[in-house]
Structure formats: structure tokens, C-alpha cells
Amino acid sequence: MSMLTVSGSPHIHGDDSTKKIMYGVVYAMIPAMLVSVYYFGLDALRVLLIASVACLFFEWVIQKYLIKGPITITDGSALVTGILLAFNVPSNLPTWMIIIGALVAIGMAKMSFGGLGKNVFNPALVARVFLLISFPVQMTSWPKPQAIINGLTDAITGPTPLGIVKEGLGAGKTMSELAPELPDYMQTMVGQMGGSLGEVSAIALILGGIYMLVRKIITWHIPVSMLLTVVIFSGIFWGVDPEHYADPVFHLLTGGMLLGAIFMATDMVSSPMTKGGQLVYGFGIGLLTILIRMWGAYPEGVSFAILLMNAVVPLINMGFKPKRFGAKPGVVIKTS
């Protein structure tokens, strides 16, 4: 007989683990990865591979030589960051920029806060915003998607639908004049539009979202409150003046809206802990996104909105507590 063990209860553990959650997210991203490779060709594969490998590599280097602690690159969190980073950049981004992005994501946004679970901001988004500000030209010239079966010709670059709208409205055009330049809803659903790797196909992203909901990796609160806010807020303006404001469905399906709502805003580490807080957080992201899209300098505002709300999370956590059992005073007892 071996030595007995003593510990406090409970003595059993559900078989959930960080690893399972992280790889669950990776599985959920597979449809979007496939779509990106289908439309952007081998370039997409290159970006995905380099971003993932670079993230894993930087995490390993930092843990081994700087922190000199245990190596935890197999827990999947760096891989998730890598793929999300790839999802957030155009497929023709030079390799060295991706590597810089990975360094910023892992080194600056994650490890400098103390590693997994300690970061305030979503690492992939920090890297995206860093790249966007540092290399605005490369980060905003998106190749036009071409189905891989049509042959690998040199990709033509062009703006995203959001970019078209922003520029067009800025130049005094109306929505109906811009309509021919924009993809129709069917195209945005499957992903036939300009954009970063992972954000183009609504269907693939929603599939991933459903998978994560079923696996209970995410709850519905953040995506639903965020998207609902976007629909309502943009709907009001569209209803008042459809010629100068894009319709809510356009807002939902273009840009990084779904990618942000399903994969970025729901990042466990940087989102609020209670369901009430999550609703507020989603609302804030939705509102900020539309504000930036409509009146900001950038055509797209999801990443900025999420990062801004990330910063508010500690405050939300303080303000929103779960419903405590027995918080109400007792019931009045009938004495018969």
C-alpha cells in the first residue's frame, strides 16, 4: 500500500482544464481558418502558421530565459493568441510584421503583466492595434478574396466594405450611390469580401460560436448584448436617415464585428466575471464600436472598443456582484 493522502474536500474534480478550454477555442476557430485559406490562399496559411509559431516561441523564450519559471506553452493559450492575431491582420502582411505583432502580443500584452490570467487587455488585440498604428498602410490594404479554386493569381488589394462606406460618406456620397461597390449579404455571410483573415465569413464565425456555447466555453451574455447594442444603436440612425447611415445588418456582418463579439470580447481573462457585468461590458463594446465606426477616424472600431472596455473590467467587477443567496430579508411567516 502506498502512502495515504490527506487534503481538504472536495476529493473529486470535474475533468475541465485550462488546456481543454484553450484547445476548445482553437477547434472553434477551425471553420474560420478554413474559410480564410479558401479565400486568401496559401498566404493565409503563411500568416496563421507564422503568427502561431511566433507566439509559442516568444512565450517559450520569455518563460525559459526571462522568468525562468515553468514552461506552459502547451496549455494552448499562446496558440489561441497566435491564431487570433492572424485572424486580425490582412493576409498579405509581411512576415516580419507578424513576428513583431506576436512579440507585442505575448511579450508586452501578456507576459509583462505576469502571464496567463493576469493580462488586462486581450493580447491579440493589443498586437493588432499596435500594428495598425505602426504600419497603417500595410494593415489596411486588404487583398480581395478569391476562391482558391480560381487559381493563385497575384491578389488585387482593395478596401473593406467598411472602408468604402467611411470614405464614400466622407466624400459626400449617399448609401444608395455606394451600394454597387459593397458586397451583398450573401457574400458577407460566406466571406467574399475584403478584410482580415478571420473576420470575413460570418457563417464560419457563428459556427465556432455555437460550438463554444455548447462546450460552455463562453456564455451568451457578451456576444448577444454587444450585437444587440450594435443593431439597436445603428438601427436608430439608419431608421432616421438611411442615406447617410449603413443599415444594422451591414454593421453586423462586416468588419471584425462577429470575430470580436464571439472570439475577442469573450476572452475569459479580460472580460468581467459576472453575468450582469458581462451584459454591461457587451453593451459598452457595442456602443463604442458604432461610435467609432460612424464618427471616428478609423472605419473599424471593434478592436478599440474592446480594448477600451477591457480597461473598465476591474471597475465592472467591483460594481457587479453575483446575486447572493439570502441577500433578501426573510419571508414573513404565517402563524396559523
Contacting residues toward another protein, per CB under 8 A: 1-14, 16-18, 20-21, 72, 75, 77, 115-118, 268-269, 271, 273-275, 321-331, 333-336
C-beta closer to another protein: residue 110 or 166 = 110
Is residue 87 a contact partner of residue 208, using CB atoms and an 8 Å limit? Answer: no
- Beta bridge partners, 158, equal 142
- CB 311 to another protein: min, Å: 15
For 118, 140, 237, 247, the CA distances from 180, given in Å and listed in that order, are: 46, 21, 21, 15
C-beta closer to another protein: residue 183 or 209 = 209
- CB 180 to another protein: min, Å: 46
- CB 209 to another protein: min, Å: 17
C-beta closer to another protein: residue 90 or 209 = 209
C-beta closer to another protein: residue 117 or 136 = 117
Q: How far apart are CA 17 and CA 132, in angstroms?
A: 34
C-beta closer to another protein: residue 94 or 322 = 322
Helical ranges in 216-322 per DSSP H: 221-240, 248-253, 257-259, 275-295, 302-319
- CB 67 to another protein: min, Å: 12
C-beta closer to another protein: residue 257 or 279 = 279
- CB 120 to another protein: min, Å: 11
Q: How far apart are CA 144 and CA 214, in angstroms?
A: 33
Q: How far is CA 323 from the centre of its chain?
A: 28
Counting beta carbons within 10 angstroms of the beta carbon of residue 235, is it exposed (0 to 12), middle (13 to 18) or buried (19 or more)? middle
Q: How far apart are CA 121 and CA 111, in angstroms?
A: 12
Q: How far is CA 209 from the centre of its chain?
A: 11
- CB 16 to another protein: min, Å: 4
